[in-house]
Structure 1
Amino acid sequence: MNTENLSDRLKAVVQYIPAGSRLADIGSDHAYLPCHAVQQGIVTFAVAGEVAEGPYRSAKKQVDEEGLSDNIFVRKGDGLDVISPGEVDCITIAGMGGTLIASILEKGKQKLPAVKRLILQPNIGAISIRKWLMEHDWKLVDEKILEEDGKIYEILAAEQGDPRSYYGESFEGGLLLGPILMSKQNDVFRKKWISERDNWERILIQLEKADENRETSKKKQELLEKIRIVEGVLKK
């Protein structure tokens, strides 16, 4: 992968960046995404943020080698600490767990009033992001699910607004599976949730063999509820 040939998941993230945005890519690693966005003329200003020294140096080296240091500012810092309020209007966060992405948004939420779009690609735990968006009045404008190199990724694009507009009656199912993804139900979506359901059923069998206590009973009920939700959606 390089700035000209992004991975499929990062290509999908880039597709959601509005033209002319002022972009912040948090956890930018080698800064491939902001470099690509500038080279393609999608944005002319970007911040590439990294919390660790190694990835920060890699991002800075990449930006310098591409001759983009006048357009992309590589900064070292934790989450949204790398941007000032009002500095950007689009934020991408890709390649982290959903819980971590939600915590980054929560910690830096004072930086978000001027942001028009969030584009979030969790490796796992998208439900944590959907819950955060719901609680902070961000509505999903689109979701995408894709498979690359044997791994399945979800991408969530959100803008400020009524978060319940896409959930309707399937609120719990929407948080878990994604309200827009549920409506599309492509082959990757079905593959992911059939696999998840089968895994939960295997865990249930193991829990049935364990000594019954409050913790195992709670876990079993949680798994049964998730299985019920998934089976109900897959039958539609």
Structure 2
Amino acid sequence: MSPRLQIVYDMIPHCETVADVGCDHGYLSIALLENGVAKKVIPMDVNKGPLSKARENIQAAGFEAQADLRLSDGLAKLSGDEADVICICGMGGALIARIIRAGLQVAKSASCLVIEPQSEYYELRSFLMDAGFVIDDEDLISEENKIYPIIKLHYESDNAKRLSYSSAQLEYGPVIIEKAPQLLHTLLDKNESEYSSIINKLENGGVPSTEATMARCQELKEKLEIITQIKNSL
């Protein structure tokens, strides 16, 4: 498995059944079965090509009897309480939010979810918080010069145990900030440089000052404030 999938794998507890949404070539499912982390897997994909390749790989590994492959748009073909763990990885944050929103009751029924968004982190964590999910663990991974979070969470039915995250935590992750790995420092420096450069171009680069450019500058300045806040707390 890739380092990214290894972190996902490490976050999955031993359980009966894991549903792998967007299963790609089925490598995660195979590893879970090979090492006895799961007794059964439900690899799922919206496209026939990856699902067919996953089927070939799972058959070659000798786990056909323990795998129930399904052509599915998100969680559409998964029932509530059917999977102990649901993995949704390698997609944009907006798409992951759409998948969870469309199958919310199924997502809530799992003991935990492990997700790996590749964009829209603030919006995704905001949606999850509002929907009653609590973040249990997080990590960062660098792949192809981009840094992604991997998030383990569960639905909390007890309102008193739900958490309210700050803007900084929604943007960079409460557990990631607490752990403060080296990749977080790298990400903060990268984003700080990028945002400052864009602001400079918008304000001093001859770009016409419009309502849209002013709003963009304000948005980026708020992001810079969050970065400063996190750096001061580390």
Please report the TM-score for the alignment, with normalisation by the length of structure 1.
Answer: 0.92
- The yes-or-no answer on 1:93 pairing with 2:92 is no
Aligned ranges 1:11-160 → 2 under 5 Å: 11-160=6-155
The percentage of aligned residue pairs carrying the same residue is 29
2:199 to 194, 201, 204: 204
- Contact map agreement 1:46 1:71 (CA 8 A) in 2: yes
> What residue is the counterpart of 2:225 in the other structure?
228
CA distance in 2, matches of 1:110, 1:183: 30
Post-superposition CA distance 1:178-229 (Å, at most 9, x none) = 1111122121111012101110111111211321121111111100000011
5+ residue gaps, structure 2, are none
User: What is the identity, as a one-letter code, of the residue corresponding to 1:122?
Assistant: P
- Contact map agreement 1:144 1:181 (CA 8 A) in 2: yes
Change in Cα spacing, 1:217 to 1:51, as seen in structure 2 (3 Å) is same
Question: Matched residue pairs, number?
Answer: 227
CA distance in 2, matches of 1:163, 1:204: 36
Alignment RMSD (CA, Å): 1.4
- Deviation of residue 124 (structure 1)? 2.4
CA distance in 2, matches of 1:130, 1:103: 13
CA distance in 2, matches of 1:14, 1:128: 25
User: What is the identity, as a one-letter code, of the residue corresponding to 1:229?
Assistant: I
User: What is the identity, as a one-letter code, of the residue corresponding to 2:140?
Assistant: I
CA distance in 2, matches of 1:10, 1:163: 28
CA distance in 1, matches of 2:197, 2:80: 47
5+ residue gaps, structure 1, are 1-5
